Amino acid sequence: MKKNIGIVGVGLIGGSIALDLTRSGEEIMVRGAERNEELGKKVLGKRLVHEILSLRETVEKSDIIIVATPPDVTTRILPEVLSLATHQTVIDVASVKEPVLDAVANHPNRHLFVAAHPMAGTEFSGPDAAQSGLFCQKACILCDAEKSSEKSLSEARELLYRLGMRIIYMDAGAHDRHAAYVSHISHITSFALALTVLEKEKSERNIFDLASGGFDSTVRLAKSEASMWNPVFRLNRENMLEVIKSYEHQLNRFRRAIEDEDDHEMQLLIRESNSIRKILKQE
Amino acid sequence: MKKNIGIVGVGLIGGSIALDLTRSGEEIMVRGAERNEELGKKVLGKRLVHEILSLRETVEKSDIIIVATPPDVTTRILPEVLSLATHQTVIDVASVKEPVLDAVANHPNRHLFVAAHPMAGTEFSGPDAAQSGLFCQKACILCDAEKSSEKSLSEARELLYRLGMRIIYMDAGAHDRHAAYVSHISHITSFALALTVLEKEKSERNIFDLASGGFDSTVRLAKSEASMWNPVFRLNRENMLEVIKSYEHQLNRFRRAIEDEDDHEMQLLIRESNSIRKILKQE
């Protein structure tokens, strides 16, 4: 594998990649570009990377560059990184892919770029949230791979395999639609649930005395950072509006069954939902 | 502690209580009443209880009886159990309390009864789902405790402490309202989310390729049984309609922020939701 890896944005995702590489036992040099000086110090303090450099130096000294910034920053910074690249493979990890691909569609170095979305993360952000093994046995989606050069693609694959991921190919449109349904909407429903209960707490103290594991898990994602999710919702706007509409429709069916005291309909709705068992891993 | 415990309905909750008691190292005799013969055999096969008897025999041979049936069954069977009781402490564990308390409000043996809701469970049901330690360090809500006799209350408390629970007192109305907000609604949002994605899957194959931990946790409760949750929603109807209305309102705020591309509003909404961090246990 290539020995010089550069990571632009050493947060949860970039930092976790860095951790797995620096501790791989191989002589891999991991360099980070981090504009925020304080964050840069933290990244070094946690020994996530070997050195923090400017964006230009990071690109120059690397064979593979991973852009791991929030997706709106990625659409701005990726063309810049590609312009600095001469031969390097450039990989992004944003969770919305069409706007990222659009941003570099006509870039002369487009062939150096591989659009990736590792399906892994937690509700926490920043270098403190970095953890080793985060990607192990997870899926990584590569989008519009036919537009990447064979060399870049194969270097990207090797790195992703090294992190323990399996690779799935998808066009960016399908990716963004699917991500809206099985990832982005979960954040909206969690945020909305959190607000519902927090609002009620203002008049009913101690309401959380009754919260147990079920509540924790449905609302866990509501801890997620605005700086990450605001741009996701904005960049995936059309798909988000579609999935929310469809979710509202399903929610309505439940509300109506309760309103109408329609036991038969409620039974059907719950049993239909139960088919999700076939999808979810058994615990 | 009393040595003869009877459990009416040996499923997830009843079975888990039985497990903790039969394996406590003390000479506690646990008897189960289970009308379904096949379930009864399974309960014995898993050695959750020492013997399966009729409801009448179970009551007669016990000092404490725990009614652990789905809440609609509890409202029917509890008056029957109380009528059979002569001196026994009778505890129920239903997750909706007002209808249960109403069902025995004027029962001559009302003082023998303690209304409890252990805030513990999983998305699975039946004796196969029983697990030891389920209640350890969880809260148990006791409702309208002033209507139970001192003796019954103290026997119930001793048993609940033995299971590792801490006890919180609450009136039934507040309990049902709070439970709607921090437990019941989570099931509705999970069911609705499951249906949304399952519906989409019909036209978009492989949509679950992108599902990761975040999706799993928001949708986990959608595995839950209709026989358990249908009666909960029915019996807690007014509170359910209130919380769904409030949830729809919050969902609307998110939808509107996306529609209007109102970054500022979305930022505020997410940051407000983030306050849920102060409530949820850190992982």
Contact A210 B141 (CB under 8 A): yes
| A175-278: CATH class | mainly alpha
CATH 1.10.3660.10 residue ranges of chain A are 175-278
Of the candidates A188, A226, A241, the beta carbon closest to that of B267 is on A226
Lowest model confidence (mean pLDDT) among A33-47, A165-179, B207-221, B251-265:
B207-221
Residue A175 has pLDDT above 50, yes or no: yes
Q: Which whole number is the average pLDDT over A241-247?
A: 97
Whole-complex ipTM: 0.90
pLDDT on residue A151: 98
Lowest model confidence (mean pLDDT) among A149-158, A203-212, B100-109, B265-274:
A203-212
For chain A, say whether B275 makes contact (Cβ under 8 Å). Answer: yes
Q: What DSSP state is assigned to residue A172?
A: H
pLDDT on residue B44: 94
Calculate how close chain A gets to B69, using CA atoms only, in Å. Answer: 18
Angle between helices A226-235 and B263-273 (to 10 degrees): 140
A 16-55 residues with CB < 8 A to B: none
B 93-122 residues with CB < 8 A to A: 117, 119-122
Question: What mean pLDDT is reported for chain B?
Answer: 94
Contacts of A105 (CB under 8 A, 6+ apart): none
Domain topology for A4-171 = Rossmann fold (3.40.50)
Contact B191 A254 (CB under 8 A): yes
For chain A, say whether B238 makes contact (Cβ under 8 Å). Answer: no
CATH 3.40.50.720 residue ranges of chain A are 4-171
Global pTM value: 0.90
Contact A216 B281 (CB under 8 A): yes
Calculate how close chain B gets to A84, using CA atoms only, in Å. Answer: 31
For chain A, say whether B259 makes contact (Cβ under 8 Å). Answer: yes
Residue of B nearest to A250 (CA): B192
Of the candidates B183, B223, B234, the beta carbon closest to that of A263 is on B234
pLDDT on residue B282: 47
Contact A218 B194 (CB under 8 A): no
pLDDT-derived band at A281, boundaries 50, 70, 90: low
Q: Which whole number is the average pLDDT over B77-104?
A: 98
Tell which residue, B256, B193, B269, B255, has the closest CA to residue A196.
Answer: B269
Contact A263 B230 (CB under 8 A): yes
A91, exposed or middle or buried, with CB in 10 Å at 0-12, 13-18, 19+?
buried
For chain B, say whether A224 makes contact (Cβ under 8 Å). Answer: yes
For chain A, say whether B123 makes contact (Cβ under 8 Å). Answer: yes
Residue A282 has pLDDT above 50, yes or no: no
pLDDT on residue A222: 94
Lowest model confidence (mean pLDDT) among A9-23, A42-56, B25-39, B77-91:
B25-39
Contact B275 A193 (CB under 8 A): no
- Tokens 């978009």, located at residue: B204
Residue B281 has pLDDT above 70, yes or no: no
pLDDT tens, position by position, B206-262? 888 888 888 888 999 999 999 999 999 999 999 999 999 999 999 999 999 999 999
Calculate how close chain A gets to B208, using CA atoms only, in Å. Answer: 7
Q: Which whole number is the average pLDDT over A22-29?
A: 85
Give SS3 for A110. Answer: helix
Measure the CA angle with vertex B259, ends B258 and B265; round to 5°: 50
